[in-house]
Amino acid sequence: MLRFTAGFDRSLVLELRGGGRGAYLCPRMGCLELAIKQRGFQRTLKTDLAPINKERVVEEVKREMGRKIQGLLGLAQRARRLAIGTDAAAETLKRGEARAVLLAWDTPSKTKHRFLQLCQEKGFPVLEVFDRAGLGQIFGRNKLTVLTVKDASFAEGIIRYSQKLIR
């Protein structure tokens, strides 16, 4: 569930924590559209909000969930619980040590097919959250195609945040 509050300028604000009156919404596009159409945010927050820009809300949710995933990936890297790069990720998958696989959504089709097939054989979840440049930026690289998460807790958190991306 996503939590929204009313900002000082009467805008709708995504709040992951905090006190005060909040409106909760599931992260599906249909739910967001229905809440906007039926003035659900205004009714729940008991205030008159400025017109809600659906695209802005979707982008804000994507940005915040991306930051959360980046934070978890940084912690997992410090704990040495990632296999970063094509060769290291493939080796981790073959040994059965992976708990989740992050594959850049702009991965070349041959590489993407290879990793999807490996993950399907082993039953590992595949997440496509960032592009190659965005994934590489997290680790100070130019581009990064794939990485595996070797820790169940980190993988669980990353999967949970990736599911909150409004689709």
Secondary structure of 81-135 in HEC code, one letter for each residue = CEEECHHHHHHHHHHCCCCEEEECCCCCHHHHHHHHHHHHHHCCCEECCCCHHHH
Report the percentage of the chain scoring pLDDT > 70: 98
- Looking at residue 8, its pLDDT comes to 86
Domain identity same for 38 and 96: no
- Looking at residue 166, its pLDDT comes to 59
Structural domain harbouring 79: 72-163
Domain identity same for 80 and 123: yes
Does residue 154 lie in a domain region?
Answer: yes
Does residue 64 lie in a domain region?
Answer: no
User: Structurally, how many domains does the chain consist of?
Assistant: 2
Does residue 89 lie in a domain region?
Answer: yes
Domain identity same for 79 and 137: yes
- Range scoring the smallest mean pLDDT among 15-19, 68-72, 81-85: 15-19
- Looking at residue 111, its pLDDT comes to 93
Q: 81 or 16: whose pLDDT is higher? A: 81
Domain identity same for 78 and 11: no
Residue 98 sits in a domain whose CATH number is 3.30.1330.30
- Looking at residue 130, its pLDDT comes to 92
Mean pLDDT of 148-164: 92
Over 70: is that where the pLDDT of 144 sits? yes
- Looking at residue 167, its pLDDT comes to 61
Q: How far apart are CA 81 and CA 72, in angstroms?
A: 11
Does residue 97 lie in a domain region?
Answer: yes
Does residue 58 lie in a domain region?
Answer: no
Residues in a beta bridge with 84: 147
Tens of pLDDT, residue by residue over 94-139, are 999 999 999 999 999 999 999 999 999 889 999 998 999 999 999 9
What mean pLDDT, rounded, does the chain reach? 90
